[in-house]
Amino acid sequence: MSDLLARHRRNGRNTVAAILLLVITGLAILLYSGSYFDRDPFVRFAAQGRAQPILVLSLSGDMGLRYGMGGVIARSLSAAGIPVSGVNSPVLFRHPRTRGEVDALIADLVRRAAQEAGSRRLVLLGQSYGADMLQTGLARLPADLRARVAAIILVVPGETAFFRSDPSGLAYRGKPDSWGITTARTIDWAPLTCIYGIKERDSLCPLLKQPNAKVIALPGGHYMNHDDAALTAHVLAAVRRAR
């Protein structure tokens, strides 16, 4: 009887270990394919057909541009003749950052994009985690760079900001590094569009009351019922409103 119980316990431990190994392996593959371990954060989406006089700098969510809304948005803009300079946020924020480092990174991204844009209009876009980092850094963007920004678009930003990306979400528990409204309310110097799912309970968008902010609520939660057509239509309209 004791041998049978011991064998049963060993089999149970082996099963748990095998499941844990599969989970870890699957997560590692997902992170690798999602650009988490890449060195170069930039992905270019060239304009298809007749190029519009606009450049969009787009910061992805914490799964990068290969998965989720970030890639969908970038490809839809590209198809509409709008080139996109994409940034895989996990590459820049896979390690903890200070507020000063976040400000410097965002300023550097905007500076590079402004140089690339030249005489074209520059639109800044952030999605989910990328929206959190974008609006945080824009609060202290130097005046000369603010003058280059034609519009800002935030897609499903959160109430809180954590200065390290984590696709598992575990790092987003506990005390945040910053509260979104404290920084976003200072962005009053460019047209600001904020898009969110109306069922989200922790969205920054409904808190934005400044005159330059246009808040758009779509059906569903954080993923807005996966209605890519509705989301991209609103993003495209916001980009085209930029002057």
φ/ψ of 167, rounded to 5, equals -60, -25
Q: How far apart (Å, rounded) are the C-alpha atoms in residues 91 and 94?
A: 6
What number of CA atoms fall less than 13 Å from residue 9's CA on the CB side?
6
**Residue owning tokens 């990068």:** 64
Helix (H) or strand (E) holding 129, with range, is helix 129-138
With beta carbons less than 8 A apart as the criterion, state whether 93 and 109 touch. no
What whole-number distance in Å separates Cα of residue 190 and Cα of residue 198?
A: 24
Phi, psi of 160 (to 5 degrees): -120, 160
Helix ranges (H only) for 34-128 are 68-79, 89-93, 99-117
Q: What angle in degrees, to the nearest 10, is found between the helix axes of 99-117 and 129-138?
A: 90
Beta strand 149-155 pairing with 121-127 = parallel
Predicted TM-score of the model (pTM): 0.86
> What residue ranges in the chain does DSSP mark as E strands?
42-45, 54-59, 84-87, 121-127, 149-155, 160-161, 178-179, 192-197, 213-218
Residues 6+ apart with CB under 8 A from 76: 228, 232, 235, 236
Q: Give the up-direction half-sphere exposure of residue 122: CA atoms within 13 A in the CB hemisphere.
A: 19
The pLDDT of residue 67: 86
pLDDT in tens, the chain (243 residues): 666 656 656 665 666 555 655 544 444 444 545 555 667 999 999 999 999 999 999 999 999 999 889 999 999 999 999 999 999 999 999 999 999 999 999 999 999 999 999 999 999 999 999 999 999 999 999 999 999 999 999 999 999 999 999 999 999 998 999 999 999 999 999 999 999 999 999 999 999 999 999 999 999 999 999 999 999 999 999 999 998
Residue 118: how many CB atoms within 10 A of its CB? 9
